[in-house]
Structure 1
Amino acid sequence: MKLLRKLTLLVATLALGAAWAAQPDFTLFHSNDVYEIQPVKRGKLGGAARVATLIKQLDDGRMIVTFGGDAFSPSIMSSLLKGKQMVNVFNKLGFDVAVYGNHEFDFGPEVAEQRVKESNFPWLSSNLLDKRTGEPLAGGVRFAVTEVNGVKVGFIGLIDDWLELTSPGDHAQYLDYVTVGRDLARKLKAEGADVVVALTHMDMVHDEELAAKVPEIDLILGGHDHGGMFKVVNGTLIFKAKSDWRDVGYLKVFTVPGQKPIAFLEVIPITNKIPEDPAMAEVVAGYVKILDEKLNVAIGETKVPLDARRKTVRTMESNIGNLIADAMRDYAGADVAIANGGGIRTDSVYGPGQLTRKDILAILPFGNVVISVKVSGADLLAALENGVSQVERVKGRFPQVSGLTFTYDPAAEPGKRIREVLVNGQPLDPNKTYVVAINDYMGRGGDGYAMFKDAPRVIDERSGLLLAKVVMDYIQAHSPVAPKVEGRIKTVK
């Protein structure tokens, strides 16, 4: 345990008394929203090999390993392997039970069902059914019960209605999570479960509603929110870990006859201070090798040189900026797309000739996802003003656009540079609502795009595909590509 920086966040539900001197009846190891088996944040956080070390260190035979959904997508590796690597890693880590997340269905229900068949553990789908059969979708189960150290622990898996964010197929049927949660929790308790745990993949506000309305649920271990959070509502502990194994939750659970269990939660950061398990590191390295081989495969052809030079993408319309913005708008079905020039890297010119996956990942290396937001015409104008406000300093906020054209005066005062904006050929209406495709960095207000930070999402950060994959798919669909500089951005002479 000396390896671990443990952050004790919460002692939930009851006074401790002398019970803490005893060993817990069982423990839970929880993570959620894991897209990468490699470490993230430049190798500082996460990584399956470190998680393997931690699981081996903590497991005393009474530990249940749970997962709160979202694994099969999105990542570049998953775009190639359709999440197969995630299931293999989860199996080797000894996962015991999981709930579906929306990204489990990014490749459709058939692929999801195949991944479920490959899993050595059940995937819960209590309120997501196949309307043809009334059974859980894609080979999932309604509930699971396990006995640990003489304690019967029942699990149910609940989601909120995110079906429109992914591709669960025409036969998916969503049921209310409160109603299903109450019915199943009561059923499990009636059949002898000492503790009922809900694994969920929904917004925190819905977890809170579930806890408030279904006291029969003893613990809620969730997902869908990537930032890590915990709360106690109606005596029920709700916990979600940070995404990509940046941390995990370790819960010591003590049962109390006739009352809710006592749960002691530690949030453990997964840092480079935790050594990698050699066997798991070898598994990960094997997948990285496969990825490297597959990245050198051509995805299409460009008939023209693609200009990704820094000064081009940060100061003027560029043909590669047009290509990227067009791909974003096409994917999102948006009125307009804006790509920040600083997200386009390599400072190089590509082609004419073949384009590989490796080329696109070099050009778009940041792992951003495409989202779309609803903004007023006035806010869209403000976004463009922000985009050209530091053009003379060659800043990354410069906008590459699709679906609109604009004229600006670089000599004018920042904030007053835009002279004309046409959206799909029509003058910008400051009172009209437009759907704008952007990346999640801009959606967080990055590069000065504060007007997007709180804008209503159409495609949100948890649902959008990786920008690099969006562009790859677009090139594959339209190859050979020949994007042009065509007057989308004009300067006053």
Structure 2
Amino acid sequence: MVSWWLQNEDFVPGRTIVLSGGDSLSSTSLATLTQGEASVAVMNAMSYSAVLFGNLDFNYGRAVLEQRISESSFGWVGSNILDAATGQVSSLGKAYEMLEVDGVSVAIIGLAEVDSPSTGFGQAMQGLEFAEHVETLQTVVPQARGAGADVVIVVVHECVGSFVPDMTAVTVPAVDAYFALRCGALANPTDSLNGAPLLVAQSNWNDYARLGLRVSLSDGTVSPHDPGLVLVQYASGNPNPVTPSAAVQAVVDTWNDSIAAIISEVIGYTAIGVANPSWELNNFIADSWLASFPDANFALTNNGGIRAGIAPGDITVGEIIDVAPFDNLIFKLTLTGQQLTDSFAAARAGCTIGNVYCPAAIAGFTYTPSPVTLFKSDGSAVDPNTSYTVLVNNFMYFGGSGFDFQALDPTPIDTGVFYRQPAIERLRALGTTNLDPLENHLDAVPRNAGP
């Protein structure tokens, strides 16, 4: 990407502003195994100017996040992340990052997702409050202008459809550009919000949103030009259209070498691959939990934590890390059948209509959705008064994906096992090959239709 910038964007570090919309530390095997340290090193080499906090940046815990921040050559902006005790912007980040570009002062405001504690690792966000976007802009934009900002840019870690209505319903201080870098939504380069350009890019560095700004030093007028979304993908099997930046590639190679022995281990084989989302993948992951913990009755892992499918061919440890890339741990709970049913129903109520895999990959039970009724694998009903041993991940335990398990069992057993590890161990045990591929061992039966 840096090479593309150099060749096509007149990229000059310190003059070109490079921003991230959050979730910068996770979602690849390299990021996971280094707890985001490799991500920061690469972003430093790419001359990032500022980043905001995504909900997934908290996944490794607060101490690790603070360490990653200390390693960053760019600023972390949490304009709406407040210290719950004081109501002031948390010391974790800044209210805004002020950049000096060719004599122009540019303030970067970052708005984290208001629901971050329920969509990220809530335990790492204890003591923090995530203020509403509009009230944050009403406070922070005047502060930035008062501090001398000639230009104000707002970056939002939120779905466009979620925050735009709020921004247009009330008066919001004028800013010069909005970037929304979440949900994979594509925006027309000419879209605007409250008179300012609005650009939305996809995730995973598959593309980037670009915008030029001309600033008149005589009267302070800010004029946008050349907005757009630039794809940086090319067809599999084709040569890279640009020569990678030697400096950035050297950083990537160093980190890749440090984990090569771990991620390259071949643990299985699939001739046709396993899609995501699919019942085959969801069921395999959830079933592997019960195989690793045979004393448990049921297992649930939120479907949002399953991030990729499995490509045809040899299956490596690195590929399974990409499938389940977070450092979520498996917790063992004791719940009554009624508690599990009620919690599952509440979480399902928050699912997008038509998403049959939401809210979780499950094992040991099936369900019917209207009303939510749970059935054991033998077809009998889950008894509301019987206590069961239930496996969940700690993201879900602390409120993620709409579950309320912490209130139901305040003394869980932390198994210390990452949520992807049972799938790795199950693949090793199966010993799948081209003569007996993984698809021979997968269950494609939906688990949302009862027994």
Q: 1:234 aligns with which of 194, 206, 209?
A: 194
Q: CA RMSD in A?
A: 4.9
Could you report, residue by residue, the CA deviation over 1:300-330 in whole angstroms, capped at 9, with x for unpaired residues? xxxxxx997769x99xx99996565454984
Q: Which residue of 2 aligns with 1:144?
A: 97
Q: Which residue of 2 aligns with 1:130?
A: 83
Q: Name the CA distance, whole Å, in 2 between partners of 1:64 and 1:310.
A: 44
Q: Which residue of 1 aligns with 2:262?
A: 294
Which moves more between the two structures, 225-234 or 206-215? Answer: 206-215
Q: Name the CA distance, whole Å, in 1 between partners of 2:208 and 2:281.
A: 43
Q: Which residue of 2 aligns with 1:29?
A: none
Contact 1:52/1:277 (8 A) holds in 2: no
**CA displacement at 1:344 relative to structure 2:** 8.3
Contact 1:126/1:157 (8 A) holds in 2: yes
Could you report, residue by residue, the CA deviation over 1:330-376 in whole angstroms, capped at 9, with x for unpaired residues? 45268xx9999x958658xxxxxxxxxx74446x5974789x98389
Q: 1:184 aligns with which of 120, 137, 140?
A: 140
Could you report, residue by residue, the CA deviation over 1:206-262 in whole angstroms, capped at 9, with x for unpaired residues? 442464241422211222222442421221111122222222222211236476533
Q: 1:94 aligns with which of 26, 30, 47?
A: 47
Q: Which residue of 1 aligns with 2:117?
A: 163
Contact 1:405/1:488 (8 A) holds in 2: no
Rate the CA distance shift 1:55–1:108 in 2: closer, same or farther, 3 A: farther
Rate the CA distance shift 1:133–1:331 in 2: closer, same or farther, 3 A: farther
* 2:220 is the counterpart of 1:282: no
Q: Name the CA distance, whole Å, in 2 between partners of 1:247 and 1:222.
A: 13
Rate the CA distance shift 1:76–1:122 in 2: closer, same or farther, 3 A: same
Which 5+ residue runs of structure 2 have no aligned equivalent? 234-239, 291-297, 327-343, 368-373, 383-400, 404-417, 431-440, 446-451
Q: 1:220 aligns with which of 178, 181, 184?
A: 178
**CA displacement at 1:95 relative to structure 2:** 1.1
Q: Which residue of 2 aligns with 1:66?
A: 19
Q: Name the CA distance, whole Å, in 2 between partners of 1:320 and 1:200.
A: 31
Contact 1:345/1:365 (8 A) holds in 2: no
Q: Which has the higher contact order (CA 8 A, sep 6+)?
A: 1
Contact 1:53/1:276 (8 A) holds in 2: no
Q: Which residue of 2 aligns with 1:252?
A: 212
Q: Secondary structure at the match of 1:214?
A: coil
The alignment's TM-score, normalised by the length of structure 2, stands at 0.62
Rate the CA distance shift 1:132–1:425 in 2: closer, same or farther, 3 A: farther
Q: Name the CA distance, whole Å, in 1 between partners of 2:252 and 2:18.
A: 20
Q: 2:58 aligns with which of 105, 127, 149?
A: 105
Q: Name the CA distance, whole Å, in 2 between partners of 1:383 and 1:207.
A: 26
Q: Name the CA distance, whole Å, in 1 between partners of 2:35 and 2:402.
A: 25
The AA in structure 1 aligned to 2:228 is: E
Q: Secondary structure at the match of 2:419?
A: helix
Once the two structures are aligned, what percentage of the paired residues are identical? 20
Q: Name the CA distance, whole Å, in 1 between partners of 2:222 and 2:31.
A: 40
Contact 1:110/1:138 (8 A) holds in 2: no
**CA displacement at 1:383 relative to structure 2:** 7.2
Q: Which residue of 2 aligns with 1:24?
A: none
Q: Which residue of 2 aligns with 1:75?
A: 28
Q: Name the CA distance, whole Å, in 2 between partners of 1:307 and 1:318.
A: 16
Q: Name the CA distance, whole Å, in 2 between partners of 1:339 and 1:156.
A: 29
Contact 2:26/2:325 (8 A) holds in 1: no
Rate the CA distance shift 1:259–1:76 in 2: closer, same or farther, 3 A: same
**CA displacement at 1:137 relative to structure 2:** 4.1
**CA displacement at 1:138 relative to structure 2:** 6.2
Q: Name the CA distance, whole Å, in 2 between partners of 1:343 and 1:60.
A: 37
Q: Which residue of 1 aligns with 2:223?
A: 261
Q: Name the CA distance, whole Å, in 1 between partners of 2:125 and 2:193.
A: 34
Could you report, residue by residue, the CA deviation over 1:188-214 in whole angstroms, capped at 9, with x for unpaired residues? 223332221112111112442464241
Q: Which residue of 2 aligns with 1:472?
A: 421
Larger radius of gyration: 1
Which moves more between the two structures, 48-57 or 170-179? Answer: 48-57
The alignment's TM-score, normalised by the length of structure 1, stands at 0.57
Q: Secondary structure at the match of 2:22?
A: coil
Q: 2:348 aligns with which of 353, 357, 374?
A: 374
Q: Which residue of 2 aligns with 1:454?
A: none
Contact 1:228/1:241 (8 A) holds in 2: yes
Contact 1:324/1:339 (8 A) holds in 2: no
Rate the CA distance shift 1:285–1:331 in 2: closer, same or farther, 3 A: farther
Q: Name the CA distance, whole Å, in 2 between partners of 1:113 and 1:184.
A: 23
Rate the CA distance shift 1:55–1:109 in 2: closer, same or farther, 3 A: farther
Q: Secondary structure at the match of 1:188?
A: helix
Once the two structures are superposed, the pairs formed by residues 398-437 of structure 1 within 5 Å of their partners are 402-404=363-365, 422-423=375-376, 425-426=378-379
Which moves more between the two structures, 76-85 or 200-209? Answer: 200-209
Could you report, residue by residue, the CA deviation over 1:421-469 in whole angstroms, capped at 9, with x for unpaired residues? 955555689xxxxxxxxxxxxxxxxxxxxxxxxxxx869xxxxxxxxx7
Q: Which residue of 1 aligns with 2:392?
A: none
How many residues are treated as equivalent by the alignment? 348
Q: Which residue of 1 aligns with 2:152?
A: 196
Q: Which residue of 2 aligns with 1:413?
A: none
Rate the CA distance shift 1:293–1:252 in 2: closer, same or farther, 3 A: same
Rate the CA distance shift 1:405–1:194 in 2: closer, same or farther, 3 A: closer
